[in-house]
Amino acid sequence: MRVWALPLALLALAICVTYSVARRHQTAPPATPIVPYKAAVVDPAALAKRLVSMQYGSGWPRSRKFDCSKLKCVALTFDDGPGEYTARLLDLLHRRDVKATFFVIGQMVAADKGGHLVRRIVEDGHEIGNHSWSHPALTGLSRDGVERQLRHTDDLVFKLTGVRMHVMRPPYGSTNEAVAEESRREGLAQILWNVDTLDWLNRVPTIVARRAGEAKPGSIILMHDIHRTTVEAVPAILDILGRKGFTFVTVSELYGRTPSPGRTYTER
């Protein structure tokens, strides 16, 4: 190549590269702008209500249609939660496909930030009941006092789960005509018991399991999920009663319907 031709070749190459780059810029699609991710705002109560609707339809709690007039049914009930051992209890019940009834205290529900445990009780298919706001003896309160204890808890549970409770348990089992009347106004049946495990007094799993094992067909068993020893007793309780041929049901399933507001129940 002649020396004078080299600059001309380099100039031609530069023109071609420049033209090619310009063509790519003209034909390439415009870049998609990067939009920072923003999580959707979800109303927890609305979400919980939708989940309940999906699982249970228009009615709650869902009835599994047991005929406890023919089956040996027993209702396990747990008071005073939800607490630090409730999640473990729910795991145990889930593994055995057992449904129970939880009578919750409003203050305990409020202490569980976000209401995760009370939501899980509902989502797992258990029945949930009202055990007052702060666990006073309702018989010592005025009518307005009883109303506040029940309604405040009911409103909070509804806000978190989207369901209204139909059953209540008066703290200490303390009730009278005034408490029954207010329960009726609030649409709540009074659920007591006929088998007391005394798990708050004797915190020994074997003792708790032995007392629960004395249940008869139609029994309502009283326990408390705030005690670690009670939760530890549950597998043995399920084994003892299971060997005796018992079917584990919720309170409403025990009666085959939602119990009548204001009325007191101790067993089927």
In the predicted structure, residue 3 carries a pLDDT above the cut 60 = no
Smallest CA-to-CA distance from 253 within 130, 75, 124, 58 is with: 75
Q: How confident is the model at residue 251 (pLDDT cuts 50, 70, 90)?
A: very high
More confident residue, 42 or 85: 85
More confident residue, 151 or 2: 151
Q: How confident is the model at residue 105 (pLDDT cuts 50, 70, 90)?
A: very high
Boundaries of every domain in the chain: 76-265
More confident residue, 180 or 42: 180
Smallest CA-to-CA distance from 125 within 163, 156, 153, 151 is with: 163
Q: How confident is the model at residue 43 (pLDDT cuts 50, 70, 90)?
A: low
Taking the C-alpha atoms of residue 107 and residue 53, their distance in angstroms, rounded to an integer, is: 26
Phi–psi pair at 265, nearest 5 degrees: -125, 140
Inter-residue contact 238 to 98 (CB < 8 Å): yes
Chain position carrying tokens 């939760």:
231
Choose which CATH entry (3.40.50.720, 3.20.20.370, 1.20.1250.20, 3.40.50.2300) describes domain 76-265.
Answer: 3.20.20.370
In the predicted structure, residue 228 carries a pLDDT above the cut 90 = yes
pLDDT single digits (tens) 161-219? 999 999 999 999 999 999 999 999 999 999 999 999 999 999 999 999 999 999 999 99
> From the centroid of its chain, how far is CA 232?
20
Report pLDDT for 69.
Answer: 93
pTM of the shown model? 0.79
Residues assigned a catalytic role: 79, 224
